[in-house]
Structures are given as C-alpha cells and as structure tokens.
Amino acid sequence: MTNANGRGRLIYGCMGLGGPWDGTSYGAAEIDQAAAVIDAAQGIGIGLFDHADIYRNGKSEAVFGEVLARSQGLREKITLQTKCGIRLGERGLQTHYDLSREAILERVNESLKRLQTDYVDVLLLHRPDPLMDPREVADAVGQLMAEGKVRQLGVSNMSAAQIAFLQDALEAPIVANQLEMSLLRSDWLEGTVLVNHPADAGYSFPHGTLEYCMSKGVELQAYGSLAQGRYTGARSGDLSPAESATATMLEDLAGVHGTTPESVLLAWLMKHPARISPVVGTTNPARISACADAAAVAGKMTRAQWYGLWTTARGSNLP
Ligand SMILES: NC(=O)c1ccc[n+]([C@@H]2O[C@H](COP(=O)([O-])OP(=O)(O)OC[C@H]3O[C@@H](n4cnc5c(N)ncnc54)[C@H](OP(=O)(O)O)[C@@H]3O)[C@@H](O)[C@H]2O)c1
C-alpha cells in the first residue's frame, strides 16, 4: 500500500488558515501566515496539504492560492487535496450535505479558482450524503478526471460499507479515507479489540472500517491527530486525571526518545500497521516543527510504550 501523496506520511491540514470563519475578508497578514505555515510544513518534509471548500468559508483555499500565485514552482513541489460535499448555512438551511453531480462539479471548479491551480491531486468526498446516488458521483468525478481537474478520489468520515458501496459505482479507486483518530479519539481502535465485549456497545465506530481500508489499500488519514493540543499545553488547567497522566507520559517518552511530546503523540498513531497519515492542523510554526520526529519515533516505539499510552489515555485497563 502506498500513501495517496506518495511522499512523507505527515499531512498539513489547512483549516486554520484564512482568518475567522465569519464573512470578513482576508488580508496580507493571513496570506503571510499561510506562507509561513507552508514553509514550516515543508521544513519537516510535509508534501501534502489538506483543504476543504468550506474551511473558513473558502478563505483557507484563497490565502493558499495567493501564496501559490506568488511562489514560482511551489505548485509542482506539493500535493494538494481538497474536499466537497458539505454546505454550511446555504439555501435557507443549516449545515447539510450535497454530493449531487451538480454540487460536486460546481464546488471543485470554485476550489480550483480559489487555489489558483488547474488541478487538485486528490478530491475527498467530505461526508456521506444520505441522498447521494453513487452513479451521479461517478459521473461527476469521471468528468473532473477526464478534464484533468482531479487526479485521485478519496472519502472522509465513511465506514467500510459506505466506501464499498461507492466503489462499486466508480471506475477510479478510492485512495484515502480521512477520519478523526488520536489518543483522545480512539474509538477506531477500541472497536477492533472490544468485539464480543459488553463495553463495545459504547463505541459507534463501524466495525471493519480499519481492516477494509488496510486490505484495499485505502490510506487512512487522521484528523485531530494532535488532539487539538489537549495533551501538549492547550488545556493544561482543565484535564481529567487520565488526560493529565497521558500528558505526563508523553513528556516522559519525549525525554526517552530525545524529542517532543507532539512527535510522540503522532508516533503513537503511525506505529499502527494501518500506516496512518496524521493530519497536523496547528498554525503555529514552532508546533509544526515539533512534529518533525514523528515517523522516526514510530519506528523506535516499543509495544510496551504503545500500549502504555493507550491504556493511560483510555483511563482503564483493557479487558
Ligand atoms: N475530514 C474532516 O471532517 C475534518 C474535520 C476536522 C479537521 N480536518 C482536517 O484536519 C486538520 C487538523 O484538524 P484539527 O485542527 O482538528 O486537529 P489538530 O491538529 O489536532 O489540532 C490543531 C488545533 O488545535 C489548536 N492547538 C492549540 N494548542 C495546541 C497545541 N499545544 N498543539 C497543537 N494544537 C494546538 C491549534 O491552534 P493553533 O493553530 O493556534 O496552534 C489548532 O486549532 C484540519 O486542519 C483539517 O485539514 C478534517
């Protein structure tokens, strides 16, 4: 199995770029921030940048596009991924989903304009749309691929059954599934060991999704991989006993491996044989740099350290 980006395993998540979520416009400060973040991400070997049409109401893509326009040769050096399928407060409705043919075509064309590029390397269908017709998706994606606007297709927040259902209608292979996965959000893992256990009822993650992706070569991309900084300083005064113990263990292991707690946190995901690619979403260049050793630490992390982190974070022993 190869990663969709075919480069380093870390992905940079651009949801924090572009200023506030409201309708205000962006300026030079937001473009400079995007440039600094892209620089910091490339500095630790990141080649894949993850977007969505909705991030900051289009401003995340727009500031990124401004940086691409002013940085000759940058587009060819990076891999761009964006998503479509969510409508935020449009058509008199609150958040709803739209994977109709018309919506896919319209939203990808708008993303390309904002990103100031002719193509995205990967398009992810952001969330399952209950009204989706897989033949319409296949038609829209087929057209975008034939036009050279989309090179590969993936999904996000989908179960094994949903991916298989879509794949049946598609010519192109589904190459990635982006899910929330971290030490804090570990139901993807709980579900693999609590089969036939009463505690299993407490987990909603669909059984078999991890195994399906692994056996079909669908790259697992983990969003929320830094647990929004919960273990690494973002909420230090507000942690449960299990979270506090996990933060301490991450620091201790960082000392053992001569690295940062952020790298250990991501290494825990990357040691899993699913070859998970963490999506890193901090806009702080120093925090991005703190993730540099993740892959190296994953290679050195012992089974005892991996299980120790998991059981500490879950706050109870495994059955
Ligand atoms: N497919 C989906 O449905 C979906 C959903 C959500 C996100 N995503 C993607 O995944 C990416 C990452 O998601 P995420 O931002 O939720 O995850 P994350 O990388 O775990 O968290 C980053 C967020 O936590 C904040 N933070 C505060 N203190 C921090 C610290 N000490 N260390 C690290 N972060 C700290 C960051 O703020 P600062 O910027 O100030 O550091 C940033 O807002 C997004 O950018 C997006 O590309 C996808």
Express each pLDDT in 5-60 by its tens digit: 444 699 999 999 999 998 899 999 999 999 999 999 999 999 999 999 999 999 99
Nearest alpha carbon, ligand 1 atom 37: 282
Cα separations in angstroms, 249 against 160, 182, 293, 308: 33, 15, 17, 9
The enclosing domain of 48 has a CATH number of 3.20.20.100
- Whether residue 271 lies inside any domain: the answer is no
**Residue listed under structure tokens 């975008």:** 144
C-beta atoms surrounding 241 within 10 Å:
8
Residue position matching structure tokens 């939203």 = 107
Cβ atoms of residues 15 and 226 within 8 Å: no
CB 123 within 8 A of CB 141: yes
Contact 277 CB / ligand 1 (< 6 Å): no
**Position of tokens 């056996």?**
215
**Residue 213 domain-assigned (yes or no):** no
pLDDT value of position 23: 84
d(C-alpha 54, C-alpha 74), whole Å: 23
The answer to whether residue 286 is domain-embedded is no
Assess if residue 220 is contained within a domain. no
Is 240 near ligand 1, meaning CB less than 6 Å away?
Answer: no
Pocket test for ligand 1, best of 61, 228, 239, 276 (most atoms within 8 A of CB): 228
Residue 312 counted as domain residue: no
For residue 268, report the distance from its CA to the centre of ligand 1, in Å.
17
Catalytic positions: 55
Token pair recorded at residue 251: 């620091």
Domain of 83, in residue numbers? 1-180
For the CA of 227, the closest atom of ligand 1 is 20
Assess whether the C-beta atom of 33 lies below 6 angstroms from ligand 1.
no
- Dist. CA 225 → ligand 1 center (Å): 8
Q: Does residue 222 lie in a domain region?
A: no
Count up the domains in the chain and report the number.
Answer: 1
CB-based contact 238:294 (threshold 8 Å): no
Residue 197 C-alpha to ligand 1 middle, in angstroms? 32
Quickly tell me which residue has 């964006």 as its tokens.
82
pLDDT at 6: 46
pLDDT of residue 2: 41
Asked whether residue 130 is assigned to any structural domain, the reply reads yes
Tokens 């606007």 belong to: 149
What torsion do the CA atoms of 98, 281, 122, 117 make, to the nearest 10 degrees? 100
If you search the block for the tokens 């309708």, which residue do you land on? 23
Show pLDDT as tens, one digit a residue, over the chain (319 residues).
Answer: 344 444 469 999 999 999 999 889 999 999 999 999 999 999 999 999 999 999 999 999 999 999 999 999 999 999 999 999 999 988 888 999 999 999 999 999 999 999 999 999 999 999 999 999 999 999 999 999 999 999 999 999 999 999 999 999 999 999 999 999 999 999 999 988 888 788 777 777 888 999 999 999 999 999 999 999 999 998 777 999 999 999 999 999 999 999 999 999 999 999 999 999 999 999 999 999 999 999 999 999 999 999 999 999 999 999 8
Cβ-contact 280, 11 below 8 angstroms: yes
How far apart are alpha carbons 302 and 306 in whole angstroms? 6
pLDDT at 76 (0 to 100): 97
* Mean pLDDT of the chain, nearest integer: 95
Contacts of 160 (CB under 8 A, 6+ apart): 206, 208, 209, 211, 212, 213
H or E segment at 221? Answer: strand 219-223
Domain annotation covers residue 119:
yes
158 in Cβ contact with 176 (< 8 Å): no
| Ligand 1 pocket test target in 226, 239, 287 with most atoms within 8 Å of CB | 226
